[in-house]
Chains A and B, each alone.
Chain A
Amino acid sequence: DSGVTQTPKHLITATGQRVTLRCSPRSGDLSVYWYQQSLDQGLQFLIQYYNGEERAKGNILERFSAQQFPDLHSELNLSSLELGDSALYFCASSVHLTSGMRGEQFFGPGTRLTVL
């Protein structure tokens, strides 16, 4: 158990719909990352938040957005869903940058999104 929790575990929805994925980082971790894992694209970085602020963006579609709340949990919002958005979405968290611990990310179990 990594200490990172994600809900829901599975999500089935229809094209055009909007969903929200939730992530709670490990206690004390200030950074949250979202990744998408699909058969054709592999594991791709979407976005990072650090202590409530957006810090880095990857290959995130404009239909997707995220935020990190004051209690440090994060939500990934996916709208106008398409069949190609079906994937496993992972959240990861990491500690505040300190010597020797930089870059170690702990991953949650993921949310499997199926768009029909």
Chain B
Amino acid sequence: AQSVTQLGSHVSVSEGALVLLRCNYSSSVPPYLFWYVQYPNQGLQLLLKYTSAATLVKGINGFEAEFKKSETSFHLTKPSAHMSDAAEYFCAVSETSNFGNEKLTFGTGTRLTIIP
């Protein structure tokens, strides 16, 4: 069974400061990992994904994440926060040992607030 734990349901950072959103996963097979962002009253948008290639993954809007197998982590970072980054962020894991079954298991989400 797969699962994801996001530490911190709410994170506040000042504009221009480092953003760090934490995600730890559990999976019985090598995982595929994702970060999605949800703006108010909108659907989920893919920020970046790890699919067993490079461990440092770069995504959209200046975000990146590093896959660390030894720590079972996939933390999301951005060097300098912008007001437009305020949103809810979800980490998700996909167990792809079964053909065609790519269901995503999501964490509980982290609401990011940017302080002007």
Interface residues of A, Cβ cutoff 8 Å to B: 2, 4, 31, 33, 35, 42-45, 48, 50, 55-56, 58, 90, 92, 94, 97, 100, 102-110
Contacts and interface: CB of A to CB of B under 8 A. Distances in A.
A36 to B, nearest CB: 11
A100 to B, nearest CB: 7
Contacts of B28: none
A108 B43 contact: yes
Contacts of A33: 102-104
Contacts of A100: 51, 53
Contacts of B105: 45
Contact of B99 (A35, A97, A105): A97
Contacts of B99: 97
Interface string B62-103: 000000000000000000000000000010001010111111
Contact of A107 (B45, B51, B107, B109): B45
B103 to A, nearest CB: 4
A55 to B, nearest CB: 5
Given A31-B102, A103-B49, 13 more contacts: A45-B104, A48-B101, A55-B101, A56-B98, A92-B44, A97-B100, A97-B102, A103-B51, A103-B102, A104-B34, A104-B49, A108-B43, A110-B43
B15 to A, nearest CB: 28
A88 to B, nearest CB: 9
